[in-house]
Amino acid sequence: MSEIRHTPEAPTGIRMLAPGAGIDAHRHDNHQIAYARRGVVSITTDAGSWVAAANRAIWIPAGTVHEHRAYGDTDLRLVGLTGNPLNLRRPAVLAVAPLLRELIISYTEEPDERVMAVLLDQLRRSPEQPLHLPTPRDPRLAAICRLLHDDPAGSASLPELARRAGVSDRTLSRLFRTELGMTFPQWRTQLRLHHALVLLAEGAAVTTVAHRCGWATASAFIDVFRRALGDTPGRAFTGW
């Protein structure tokens, strides 16, 4: 990451970000919610990246060094929090129900203590979503993950990738489980979903996204997307 900026209080407000724009590495002393009313936002830390469209928000704990990145024209809403209603010490992607969405929008436009009280209550009811893409540290695994990042639609099997890394199938499989906390197929699916969200934010058609991210058909992509994010690609970007 670039030079780290320290912002004592996590800002509350609205940031309009052009495609590809971002907020450089920084940290703040209180917690924050990042919500993209339009577009897609990601945060990246040393532990990986989290990404969210309009039906998801990202929880950023106090003290976490992170960068923001926007995909598509992004209307980013930031809410600084002094308390920790989720009791989470790591970043997380949260489901955003219609009421929570409206509370975030309202509070970022005109902060109000009564709105905040309801917002905190709704946050406590928001389930965490499995949209974390962990970053590997082992150089062999990191090299494989870079290959997968460069070609998310690639069909290379675990044995093929193991040969490229100069390790056994068993070693590579173990590295995925111990370093990233998931199997090789699970990590590649997460990677493909992250790429899919970016492409959708940039205006790509669902069928195009499916093929560019490794799904044989649009229906197969939509099924995986719905199971992972709770909505079809269209609803995930239009909200309610």
Mean pLDDT, the chain, whole residue set: 92
207 and 116 inside one domain: no
Predicted local confidence at residue 55, as pLDDT: 86
Predicted local confidence at residue 238, as pLDDT: 58
Residue 78 CB neighbour total at 10 angstroms? 20
Give me the CATH number covering residue 39: 2.60.120.810
User: Could you tell me which residue, 83 or 113, shows the higher pLDDT?
Assistant: 113
Provide the number of structural domains found in the chain: 2
Statement: residue 1 has pLDDT above 60:
no
Contacts of 219 (CB under 8 A, 6+ apart): none
* Phi, psi values for residue 27, rounded to 5°: -145, 160
pTM over 0.85: yes
Q: What percent of the chain has pLDDT over 70?
A: 97
User: Could you tell me which residue, 53 or 114, shows the higher pLDDT?
Assistant: 114
The last residue of one of the domains, among 132, 158, 181, is 132
Give me the CATH number covering residue 218: 1.10.10.60
Structural contact between residues 32 and 80, judged by C-beta atoms closer than 8 angstroms: yes
Statement: residue 183 has pLDDT above 60:
yes
User: Could you tell me which residue, 83 or 93, shows the higher pLDDT?
Assistant: 93
User: What is the C-alpha to C-alpha distance for residues 81 and 34, in angstroms, rounded to an integer?
Assistant: 11
Predicted local confidence at residue 35, as pLDDT: 97
Q: What is the mean pLDDT of residues 16-21?
A: 94
Predicted local confidence at residue 54, as pLDDT: 83
9 and 128 inside one domain: yes
124 and 152 inside one domain: no
DSSP readout, 134-194?
EPP-SHHHHHHHHHHHH-TT----HHHHHHHHTS-HHHHHHHHHHHHSS-HHHHHHHHHHH
Full domain range(s) for residue 61: 5-132
59 band by pLDDT with thresholds 50, 70 and 90: very high
Q: What is the mean pLDDT of residues 62-81?
A: 95
Statement: residue 235 has pLDDT above 60:
yes
Structural contact between residues 90 and 41, judged by C-beta atoms closer than 8 angstroms: no
Statement: residue 97 has pLDDT above 50:
yes
The last residue of one of the domains, among 132, 163, 181, is 132
Statement: residue 240 has pLDDT above 50:
no
The last residue of one of the domains, among 65, 98, 132, is 132
157 and 217 inside one domain: yes
User: What is the C-alpha to C-alpha distance for residues 156 and 188, in angstroms, rounded to an integer?
Assistant: 11
Predicted local confidence at residue 8, as pLDDT: 81
88 and 162 inside one domain: no
Q: What is the mean pLDDT of residues 151-176?
A: 93
25 and 95 inside one domain: yes
* Phi, psi values for residue 160, rounded to 5°: -65, -45
Predicted local confidence at residue 228, as pLDDT: 85
76 and 89 inside one domain: yes
Contacts of 48 (CB under 8 A, 6+ apart): 132, 133, 134, 135
42 and 142 inside one domain: no
Statement: residue 42 has pLDDT above 80:
yes
76 and 185 inside one domain: no
User: What is the C-alpha to C-alpha distance for residues 6 and 192, in angstroms, rounded to an integer?
Assistant: 33
14 and 126 inside one domain: yes
101 and 24 inside one domain: yes
145 and 28 inside one domain: no
